Amino acid sequence: MPFEPLVTAVIETTLNTLINDDPELGRRLARLKGQVIQVHFKELDKTLTFIFSQQIDVLANYEGQPDCYLSLNLSILPELREQSNITKLIKQDKLVLEGDIQLAQKFSQLMTDCKPDVEEWLSRVTGDVVAHTVVQGVANVGQFLKSQAQKHQSHMAQVLTEEWQIAPAPLEVAHFCDQVDEVKSQASRIEAKLNQLLERA
């Protein structure tokens, strides 16, 4: 199977599965029924077309005219929920929008809220208790790894500043800044006195 049809099929199946699992997402899909939104993802240089009916169809190639066209980086998609952000992003050249702004907002809201409930999916296969235990265990491992990384970062900072003395300690930097400020103020006083003497001369 060619790459693009495979990608669009995965996106389409994932979105429709998530929407079918959540009645609220189903109601949001109904508000977009009959609309066509085209999104150009800058970082991938790819354009996908989303066609809304009882479900979402995702196409890599579309000949018709969309109701709304967006060109953006994937990272700014959540920001489109607020109309004030849309204007700001357009001014910052982070977003190209052609068509209905409200349609773009509804699309953004639907896409950013399409998050899988891993525990719910897992419980269908393993049961509630096992699913909860697995998800909680993964979360705990994530927290442990994060705390370990922070400890290593803190330890490395101490080694660089105290043992190897490659980087100055925060107090040394603050003291140096105070000394620079004092030299500046002394230079300003000397300059003022020189100006007075020159005026008298």
* Domain co-membership, 90 together with 174: no
* CB neighbour list of residue 28: distance below 8 Å, 6 or more residues apart: 106, 109, 110, 113
Residue 154 lies in a domain: no
- Does residue 133 lie in a domain region? no
- What sign does the CA torsion over 189, 191, 193, 196 have? negative
Amino acid at 93: D
Shared domain check, 87 and 11: yes
- Residues 91 and 23 reside in one and the same domain: yes
3-state secondary structure 8-38: HHHHHHHHHHHHHHCHHHHHHHHHCCCCEEE
One domain, residues 105 and 18: yes
Q: What is the pLDDT of residue 164?
A: 60
In tens, the pLDDT along 44-82 reads: 888 999 999 999 999 988 888 999 999 988 888 778 777
Question: Domain of 10?
Answer: 3-116
Say whether both 12 and 95 belong to one domain. yes
Assess if residue 85 is contained within a domain: yes
pLDDT the model gives residue 120 = 58
Query: Residue 152: inside a domain, yes or no?
Result: no
How many structural domains comprise the chain? 2
In a domain, 148, yes or no: no
Q: What is the pLDDT of residue 50?
A: 93
Tell whether 121 is covered by a domain: no
In this structure, the answer to whether residues 112 and 181 fall within a common structural domain is no
In a domain, 175, yes or no: yes
pLDDT tens-digit map of 114-162: 775 555 555 555 666 655 565 566 666 667 667 767 776 776 666 666 6
pTM over 0.75: no
How many C-beta neighbours within 10 Å does residue 72 have? 21
Are 18 and 95 in the same domain? yes
Does 1 have pLDDT greater than 50?
no
